[in-house]
A and B are shown apart, each in its own frame.
Chain A
Amino acid sequence: MATPALKPVAAGAPPAERMRRSYLNADYSVASWLLTVDHKRIAVLYLISVTVFFILGGLFAAGVRLELLTPKGDLLQADTYNKFFTMHGVVMVFFFLVPSIPATLGNFLVPMMIGARDLAFPRINLLSWYVFILGGAFALAAMIFGGVDTGWTFYTPYSTSYSVTNVMLAAVGIFITGFASILTGLNFIVTIHRMRAPGLTWFRLPLFIWAHYATSLIMVLGTPVIAITIFLVAIERGLHIGIFDPALGGDPVLFQHLFWFYSHPAVYIMILPGMGVISEIITCFARKPIFGYSFIAMSSLAIAVLGFVVWGHHLFTSSQSVYAALIFSILSFAVAIPSAVKVFNWSATLYRGAISFEAPMLYALGFIGLFTVGGLTGLFLAAIGLDLHVHDTYFVVAHFHYIMVGGAVLAFLGGLHFWWPKMFGRMYPEMPARVAAVIVFIGFNLTFFPQFLLGYLGMPRRYHAYPAEFQVLNVMSTAGASILAVGYLLPFCYLLWSLKFGPKAANNPWGATGLEWTTPSPPPTENFAEQPIVTAEPYTYGTAEDLEEVSVA
């Protein structure tokens, strides 16, 4: 719990001086940003980078959805279409969803929420951003030089022996980017263990921190496996030594085991931080302590642990033994329980609250709705007899978009709106923000709900052309996607607008609890003028005395 000593300059400066100097205006040079070791600046660098990747991935999605307006593959060539959905997947999964919340909100908030001046390893944190950018550069190169067409899952032997696209470049990109994830996870784990403010015991931690702790465990334990797997693909592609190629004695399904051993837990890398965000928002806008704090905290860890033993549910149709399928099925149902516990606890938190509906809260409520649909449809897929029908159809596409987009993206947007005043010291206009949240929710459901029906009707995923009877539902889905795009575009505009024209934000505009709200908006480089000391439980909304107890001692 050693917190580095604060800079004497900051501690000694007069209060007014401290108020004016923030991490944003501490220095204006480009070098001061590119060589910064301030976790808040690195968070901003990440925010800009993942936004660029989100726009890129969104453009590919637009291409995919437009193509599917008509049953004939008339807009894009088959090859082009295959590259579009592949790059949509690669960019969104590896370069947006995985880093989005941990690398932006997590980077910004983990030290502040625990009362620390920075992460445990500030330089490694900067390194992680450069590693991320380098990986991104390879992925971009793969796109510029003709794209990849293997699907983001890179299934062998297609990816190793048959695809003639830039599999190598994309693989190298993902391999490198994985290390950014590992470094971030490592940094969080050490920081949370070692740098908590005096009095901030484990069960006084904000749930956002618990969620990031669980996420970091997955990042550190899971990511090396995907790195090894992708490396094996590269070796097999380059040297044909027979790891996955059955003609050389390899096993084509081995890849799927290795891939999903990471990529299933990776879903929780995307969603657990989101759950942390939602826990913070719900308590704040209901103005009451979260219902079942320790159950929510422990369910994060349970999800992280169970997430590692359910990968086989991606392989029910690929000739694993009947008994393996059975085990993976029952474990998959087990992981549903901690998720259900969270949803019930969030809902129960609203009971006898004093609820207001600012934009972050609308996103949070939307998150619970969409995550519930995503979670319940997960039961359909975990049930092996039914999975034989819906596996690899649009039912799966709808399900994981409900979890990964409905969950992770809504939580990201909610969190961004919630902490935006803290991060940039400006308020955004409330009305457009609420409208955007509602548009995103409606557009999202219109896009992805028809896909459940499409999937049960039997439309396989990754189809560039399809039988005519699937058209109506596809047109609905594409129409929904256009609405969703408007919903994404709005925050992009008014948040940028707010940076210059937004009214100055108060230190704690929502009346929230938590150490990050006790420091100025935007925070000074050293986060806290004085070492905070924590003497109370988290989320002590309610009495004035409680509020004082959490504040800086």
Chain B
Amino acid sequence: MRAYDFPLFPEQASTMAAQVDYFYLFLIAVSLFFGVIIAAMLVGFSIRFRRRNPQDVGHHIHGSTLLEIAWSVIPFGITMVIFAWGVWLFFGFSRPPDNAHEVFVVGKQWMWKLQHMEGRREINELHVPIGQAVKLTMTSEDVIHSFYIPAFRMKFDVLPGRYTTSWFEATKVGEYHLFCAEYCGTEHSGMIGKIVVMEPAAFEKWLSEQPPAPQPPGHPAAAAVSAPAGAAASPVAAGEALFTARACATCHLPQGGGLGPSLVGVFGHMVKLSDGSEVLADEAYVRESILNPTAKIVQGFQPVMPTFQGQLSEEQVMQLIQYIKSLDKGAPASGQGVAQTAPVGADSAS
């Protein structure tokens, strides 16, 4: 298609892209500045002071402290400008706006599994609206991957056992490459997806469609993940179903008084721990509490919760988190259902 032209920049399709490109151009200007100085010295001196007679010797010049200071201090000053500019951009990348559309990303050898807050799932494709920030919460089921969209100039590693977040705001309708940038095994270069940027109305329509959940070929495990709550249930609903099925509800009573603390209105707030310290109840904390419950015990409770390590897929953990996130003080997610449901089945983890 574009095989024979020479694009020097990838497309600019996010709010950050142009900013990164300006910075890049500035760095090229700085490099040219120094490059030209050094090339001029090397080439100019080589011609001007070439040896004309085999007996010639150079002049005794041992150095100049003034010059040494000049060419230490000036580059230092310039690098500090580059540093500050780079940090400013980096902060821009690390702080997603509050109203962002949320997407969960699970990397897996060798595919991207994505799910929108509203429930729609995708494999190796991510549809996003134009002009709205999209926040990604990412984790991996196996090795380290890296979520990279060149047209958006953003990249972030996707790590097993940890949540990383990143965000972007698309500015141009179209399709863009989604690469895995961290070497992840045999099909690393095949772990390519595409980002589809749509007009908001089209996106809303797309989002509300409920096609059958995509089934990755040859990965039955992935299909099982979505089973409990139906293929296209929202993560919150799926999380609620899990919360019941895994008997979380027997201890974490919404009104309190159970063996575990109530989870209503906890997410996003500081929690006091038994050792007196405080921790922010964010995705990482909730995840840790599910998989390694004794790591940070809430004040006033005993370390009696069993671990769910190895029993929940990354997607299920994310669904639980979304459910817990939805438990606002004012409006428990779906009314009374939670606390009254009896533990379902003897498989409940313990």
Contact = CB atoms under 8 A, between A and B. Distances in A.
Nearest to A316: B90
Contacts of B23: 383, 385-386
B205 interface: no
Given A354-B57, A388-B90, A347 B144 contact: no
A457 B150 contact: yes
Contacts of B20: 385-386, 388-389
Interface in B24-38: 24, 27, 30-31, 34-35, 38
B187 A78 contact: yes
B161 A389 contact: no
Contact of A352 (B35, B49, B143): B49
A155 B153 contact: no
A231 interface: no
B221 interface: no
Interface stretch (B69-77, B256-264, B328-336): B69-77
A383 B27 contact: yes
Interface residues of B, number: 92
Interface in A500-514: none
A462 B189 contact: yes
A464 B189 contact: yes
Given A329-B83, A347-B38, A354-B51, A462 B72 contact: no
A238 interface: no
Interface in B44-92: 45-46, 49-52, 56-64, 67-68, 71-72, 75-76, 79-80, 82-83, 85-92
B348 interface: no
Nearest to B110: A78
A247 interface: yes
B274 interface: no
Contacts of A456: 8-10, 24
Given A291-B63, A385-B85, A471-B3, A355 B50 contact: yes
A392 B146 contact: yes
Interface class of chain B by DSSP: mixed
Contacts of A336: 75, 79
Nearest to A320: B157
A404 to B, nearest CB: 19
A376 B8 contact: no
B273 interface: no
B42 A350 contact: yes
Contacts of B4: 472
A149 to B, nearest CB: 7
Interface residues of A, number: 97
A541 B6 CA distance: 50
Interface stretch (B116-124, B177-185, B237-245): B177-185
Contacts of B159: 246, 252-253, 318-319
Nearest to A361: B46
B45 A78 contact: no
Contacts of A391: 155, 181
A372 interface: yes
A149 B186 contact: yes
B161 A252 contact: yes
B59 A372 contact: no
A478 B179 CA distance: 23
Contacts of A457: 7-10, 150
B339 interface: no
Contact of B154 (A286, A357, A389): A389
A453 interface: yes
A389 B142 CA distance: 24
A162 B185 contact: yes
A251 B83 CA distance: 29
B90 A357 contact: no
Contacts of A150: 183
A247 B310 contact: yes
A485 to B, nearest CB: 25
Nearest to A71: B3
Contact of B49 (A249, A292, A350, A393): A350
Contact of A291 (B61, B93, B142, B150): B61
Given A317-B156, A350-B49, A465 B189 contact: yes
A325 interface: yes
A466 interface: yes
A80 to B, nearest CB: 10
Interface string A372-415: 11001101101111111101110000000000000000000000
B16 to A, nearest CB: 8
Given A355-B51, A388-B153, A369 B39 contact: yes
Contacts of A294: 63
B15 interface: no
A341 B72 contact: yes
B94 A322 contact: yes
B90 A319 contact: no
A73 interface: yes
A351 B144 contact: no
Given A158-B143, A383-B23, A472-B4, A348 B41 contact: yes
B49 A246 contact: no
Interface in A307-353: 316-319, 322, 325-326, 329-330, 333-334, 336-337, 340-341, 343-345, 347-348, 350-353
Interface in A280-304: 286-289, 291-295
- Among B8, B60, B142, chain A packs the most CB atoms within 10 A around the CB of B60
B109 interface: yes
Given A287-B57, A392-B182, A456-B8, A329 B86 contact: yes
B160 A325 contact: no
B183 A462 contact: yes
A453 B34 CA distance: 20
B292 interface: yes
Nearest to A162: B143
Given A337-B72, A337-B79, A355 B153 contact: no
B181 A460 contact: yes
B182 A163 contact: no
A157 interface: yes
B309 interface: yes
B150 A341 contact: no
Given A155-B182, A337-B79, A347-B41, A380 B27 contact: yes
Interface in B155-172: 155-157, 159-162, 164
A457 B11 CA distance: 9
Contacts of B156: 317, 319, 388
- Among B3, B151, B188, B292, chain A packs the most CB atoms within 10 A around the CB of B188
B214 interface: no
A25 interface: no
A472 B34 CA distance: 29
B190 interface: yes
Contacts of B75: 336-337, 340
B346 interface: no
Contact of A288 (B50, B59, B93): B59
A445 B91 CA distance: 35
25 contacts: A157-B142, A162-B142, A247-B309, A251-B161, A329-B83, A336-B75, A345-B63, A347-B38, A350-B41, A352-B58, A353-B45, A353-B49, A355-B45, A369-B38, A380-B27, A385-B89, A385-B92, A388-B155, A392-B155, A464-B188, A465-B189, A468-B1, A469-B1, A541-B57, A542-B59
Question: Which 7 pairs between the two chains have the least Cβ-Cβ distance?
Answer: A246-B161, A385-B89, A458-B150, A288-B58, A383-B86, A354-B56, A350-B45
Interface of B: 1-4, 6-10, 19-20, 23-24, 27, 30-31, 34-35, 38-39, 41-42, 45-46, 49-52, 56-64, 67-68, 71-72, 75-76, 79-80, 82-83, 85-94, 109, 142-144, 146, 148, 150-151, 153-157, 159-162, 164, 177, 179-190, 192, 292, 309-310
Interface of A: 73, 78-79, 82, 149-151, 155, 157-158, 161-163, 246-247, 249-253, 286-289, 291-295, 316-319, 322, 325-326, 329-330, 333-334, 336-337, 340-341, 343-345, 347-348, 350-357, 365, 368-369, 372-373, 376-377, 379-380, 382-389, 391-393, 453, 456-458, 460-469, 471-473, 541-543
